[in-house]
Amino acid sequence: MSGAIDLVVMTWRLRDMGRVRSIAGVLARHGFADIAARMGPGAWARGVFRALLRRPRSSPIPVEKRLRLVFEELGPTFIKLGQMLATRPDLVPMALVDELTHLQDRVPPFPFQDVKEIIESEMGLPMAEVYAEVDEVPIAAASIAQVHSATLRTGEPVVIKVQRPRLNEQITADLRILAGLARLLESRVPETRPFRPRAIVEEFTKSLQRETDFVAEAASMGRYRKMFEDEPGLVVPRSYPEWTRRRVLTMERVEGVKVTDRQALVAMGLDLKAIVDVGMRLTLRSIFEFGFFHADPHPGNFFVGKDGTIILLDFGMMGTIEPRRVDEMLAFMVAVLTGDVDMVVDQLLDADLIGDDTDLRGLRSDLRSILFRYSDADLGSVDVAAFLQEVMAVNIRHHVFLPADLLLVGKSIATMEGIGHQIYPEFKPLDAIRPYLTEVYVRRLLDAKRHSQVVARSVMDGLTLLKDAPFDIRRVLRKLRRGELTMTLRSADLESRQQHTAAVANRALLGGLFATFFFGAVILLDQGGTARTVAGWVSAGFSWMFFLGLSWSLLRGDGR
Amino acid sequence: MPVPPLQRGIESIVAELLRVHVLEAVLARPEVRRGLSPEAVERIRRDILDRLKASEEQGRDHRGEVEEVLDAALGAAGPAGAMIKSLLKAGWDHLSPSDREAG
């Protein structure tokens, strides 16, 4: 297993050496020279991780800020990785989470010639056959794509989102490097295992692949539009599937001002409170009614139309929650928001999120002190983001494993609260959140249709089981009679012992080969003659190679 | 997509159980009382009650199909099935007396 890991690492190292070097350069420039130095040959993962955790004293700029600058400079993959880590206070320190929320996803635009080439290569048509007009100056440029105003040949005003050139190649190389690094960390640095670096990179890879597929984004827009058909306060632009491809998304052009441009909103004579209320309601409904929500809810994706409708953009990163998980989250949130400590802990236990080493009494006591403090506060004065952050921090301290989707939900609500405060400072989020969540919770508990679906499924499963049971029992009995019944047991301990045994065998083999070729070389060289001397030196070469292999394996001390 | 008759029957039975035995218990829970104003609780009670009654009535004619499925399944399970069936029937009679109404 560990041999396979080395092979993977070697592969990415050779293939991506140029990129690894440029990452090292960026790290060095931002005061992480000690990490950059470890990016050369050799086992450096442990060093990289420890160096990251160590706070260098030489730079006056805080390490969190320098890390943020590194992410920005390394481009799309790392900007997106930073954005993901900003939603994971369970993985990275809170100071870094705060800093990463300020990641700038703004980059210089790429030339219009590239825009044209990408459109034509994706559509398989000259650009002029699709669009009557395309504005050469982009409306916005970000790390994944840039956006241009255009008009379809049918006369409809649209915007086109065009992916950056060669983005896929760059992301693929970066993901390969990250995957290699994650494997190294997990195999060589035991203290990183609880953070499951491989699982994080896999999750991140999937999310980034979805985000760079604009056909999937168009589908998400369609789904979101349908979900909120009954909501007059929301506009989701319509996409044009016939003019949408993996790297080009064509959608309806909707005019609006940024939701955070308070002055413009006031000048338009809009009811700011109503806008904030609708924004919060939409956020909560998307999560708790539909289980499908905007996972990148930064203010840049919210606009407001002339009539006060909210215009939501960028559906590249969407969160999905299973109905069962929605129930768990609802119960958890209701328990937290109503200050019911026992229910909070029960929910965590039911969802199997509490580790074996958690001190339940300590967890209850810490939660009680926070919830008690907030229960005394005036609803309007509660900062929901800070409150949820405190609850999360207690959970993390007590080794409660908080799932990524729950954290994303918390982040989504907190972002909406932030937007609300920005444009309407008197906004009282808990006034809206608490009754809403409690009502949805009650309605779900008493939803006959939903329960009947579960019962019907169980009945059908039970019937299938009953139908198949006699046949299955007969088959097992027949095998038992013939002595053909086999059982497979797996043991993690047994596997590690097998790995160790294989490693010892490898070393013995290397030692044997070294000795054979070494003594062979000595004998051949001793006998003299041209042919024997040549063969002797060849044999000596082999013995030297096996000696190096054996020394390498012993020096690494990991059994290879 | 049309709802299968079996599911309609099950929904009707579940709705009756929720209406008679669960609704008030849920609305009386402390977290619900803390999270909602009394007026909101009353509004939700009325709304949910209407929905549950509608589900009950819409599937009442299909309850027989649930019984048929259970009969077939439990019949296949032999004497144990007969015992389970009588237990289920006793349980249902206890939980759903025809004269009990709520709301």
Backbone Cα Rg of chain A: 30
Least confident of A20-24, A72-76, A276-280: A20-24
pLDDT(B102) > 50: no
| Residues A50 and A65 occupy one common structural domain | yes
Of residues A398, A408, A347, the one with CA closest to residue A369: A398
Choose the mutation target among B1, B3, B6, B10 for the interface with A, i.e. most A CBs under 10 Å: B10
CATH of the domain at A250: 3.30.200.20
**How far, in Å, CA of A323 to CA of A345, rounded?**
21
Asked whether the predicted pLDDT for residue A559 surpasses 60, the reply is no
Q: How far apart are CA A382 and CA A391, in angstroms?
A: 13
**One-character DSSP codes across A428-496:** -HHHHHHHHHHHHHHHHHT-HHHHHHHHHHHHHHHHHHHHHHHHHHHHHHHHHHHT--------HHHHH
Looking at the structure, do residues A8 and A80 belong to the same domain, yes or no?
A: yes
Q: What is the pLDDT of residues A117-136, one digit of tens each?
A: 999 999 999 999 999 999 99
Nearest CA in chain B to A343: B31
Cross-chain residue pair A445–B22, CB shorter than 8 Å: yes
Q: Please give the share of chain A, as a percent, with pLDDT higher than 90.
A: 28
Known catalytic residue at A296? yes
Preferred mutation among A334, A437, A443, A446 to probe B, highest tally of B CBs within 10 A: A446
Interface of A with B (CB under 8 A): 334-335, 337-340, 343, 434-435, 437-439, 441-443, 445-446, 448-449, 451-453, 455-456, 459, 462-463, 466-467
A195: tokens are 């953070």
Is the CB of A446 less than 8 angstroms away from the CB of B76?
Answer: no
Q: Is residue A459 included in any domain, yes or no?
A: no
A340 with A265, same domain: the answer is yes
Long-range contacts of A510-513 (CB under 8 A, 24+ apart): A510/A546, A510/A549, A510/A550, A510/A553, A511/A550, A513/A542, A513/A543, A513/A546
Probe site for chain A from B34, B56, B96 (most A CB atoms < 10 A) = B34
Helix, strand, or coil here: A318?
strand
> Mean pLDDT throughout A97-119?
87
Taking CB atoms and an 8 Å limit, are B14 and A462 in contact across chains? no
Work out the end-to-end distance of chain A between its first and last CA atoms, rounded to an integer number of angstroms. 10
Residue A467 lies in a domain: no
Residue A295, pLDDT score: 82
The residue with greater pLDDT, A270 or A197, is A270
Residue appearing with tokens 């309007």: A380
Examine the domain organization and report whether A87 and A117 are in the same domain. Answer: no
Tell me what pLDDT residue A35 has. Answer: 61
The number of domains in chain A is 4
B33–chain A nearest CA distance, Å: 9
Q: Are residues A24 and A80 in the same domain?
A: yes
Instruction: Using DSSP bridges, classify how beta strands A140-141 and A145-152 pair: parallel, antiparallel or unpaired.
Output: antiparallel
What is the β-pairing status of strands A234-235 and A310-312?
A: parallel
Question: Position A531: which residue type?
Answer: A
Q: Is A159 in contact with A149 (CB distance < 8 Å)?
A: yes
With 0-12 CB in 10 A as exposed, 13-18 as middle and 19+ as buried, what is B46? Answer: exposed
Taking CB atoms and an 8 Å cutoff, what residues of chain A touch B44?
Answer: 439, 442-443
**Dihedral sign from CA coordinates of A125, A131, A135, A140:** negative
- Cα three-residue angle A319-A164-A65, rounded to 5 degrees: 65
Among the ranges given (A245-249, B39-43, B80-84), the one the predictor scored with the smallest mean pLDDT: B80-84
Are A337 and B4 an interchain contact pair (Cβ–Cβ within 8 Å)?
no
Mention every residue, 6+ apart, whose C-beta is less than 8 A from residue B78: none
Q: What are the tokens at A328?
A: 């768990």
Across the interface, whether the CB atoms of B35 and A438 are under 8 A apart is answered yes
Which of A221-225, A395-399, B17-21, B63-67 is predicted most confidently? A221-225
CA angle A276, A300, A293 (to 5 degrees): 65
Instruction: Indicate whether A242 pLDDT > 80.
Output: yes
| B22 vs A contacts (CB less than 8 Å) | 445-446
Q: A541 and A403, same structural domain?
A: no
- Judging contacts by C-beta atoms under 8 Å, the chain B residues touching residue A334 are 31, 35
pLDDT for the residue numbered A85: 82
CA distance B102 to B60: 18
Q: Is residue A300 part of a domain?
A: yes
How close, in Å, is residue B72 to chain A by CA atoms? Answer: 9
Residue A159 DSSP SS3:
strand
Angstrom distances, CA of residue A255 to CA of A141, B28, B46, B70, B93: 18, 48, 42, 59, 62
Same domain, residue pair A409 and A502: no
- Which structure tokens are listed for A396? 């993390």
Domain that holds residue A350: 256-451
Q: Tokens for B21? A: 């035995």
In angstroms, the CA A73 to CA A76 distance is 9
DSSP assignment letter at A20? H
User: Could you write out the DSSP letters of every residue in A110-149?
Assistant: PPHHHHHHHHHHHHTS-GGGTEEEE-SS-SEE-SSEEEEE
Same domain, A222 and A160: yes
The distance in angstroms from the start CA to the end CA of chain B is: 32
- Look at the alpha carbons of A503, A505, A506, A510 in this order and tell me if their dihedral is positive or negative: positive
Q: Are A2 and A187 contacting, i.e. CB atoms less than 8 angstroms apart?
A: yes
**How many angstroms separate the CA atoms of B17 and A384, rounded?**
37
Q: What integer is the mean pLDDT of B50-57?
A: 94
Tell which residue, A328, A414, A430, has the closest CA to residue A375. A430
pLDDT value of position A198 = 86
Q: Is the pLDDT of residue A13 over 60?
A: no
Mean pLDDT of chain B: 82
Top pLDDT among A131 and B59 is at A131
Tell me: the pLDDT tens digits for A537-552? 888 888 888 888 877 7
CA distance A33 to A51: 9
- Nearest beta carbon to residue B30 from set A340, A451, A453: A340
Cα–Cα distance for residue pair A449/B54, rounded to 1 Å: 11
Query: Which is the catalytic residue, given A16, A296, A314, A327?
Result: A296
Strands A292-294 and A257-258: unpaired
Q: How far apart are CA A211 and CA A218, in angstroms?
A: 11
ipTM entry: 0.81
Domain's final residue, options A229, A254, A279:
A254
Q: Rounded CA gap, A117 and A126, in Å?
A: 9
Indicate whether A288 and A366 sit together in one domain: yes
Residues A520 and A412 in one domain: no
Are residues A238 and A251 in contact, defined by beta-carbon separation less than 8 angstroms? yes
**B21-25: average pLDDT:** 92
Confidence class for position B76, pLDDT limits 50, 70, 90: low
- Between A52 and A305, whose confidence is greater? A305
Residues A409 and A505 in one domain: no
Is A378 inside a domain boundary? Answer: yes
Asked if residue A228 and residue A143 are part of one domain, the reply reads yes
Q: Where are the alpha helices (DSSP H) in A212-239?
A: 214-227
Cβ neighbors of A178 (< 8 A, separation 6 or more) are A77, A81, A201, A204
Partner residue opposite A463 with nearest CB, options B7, B11, B73: B73
Residue entry with tokens 């908080």: A402
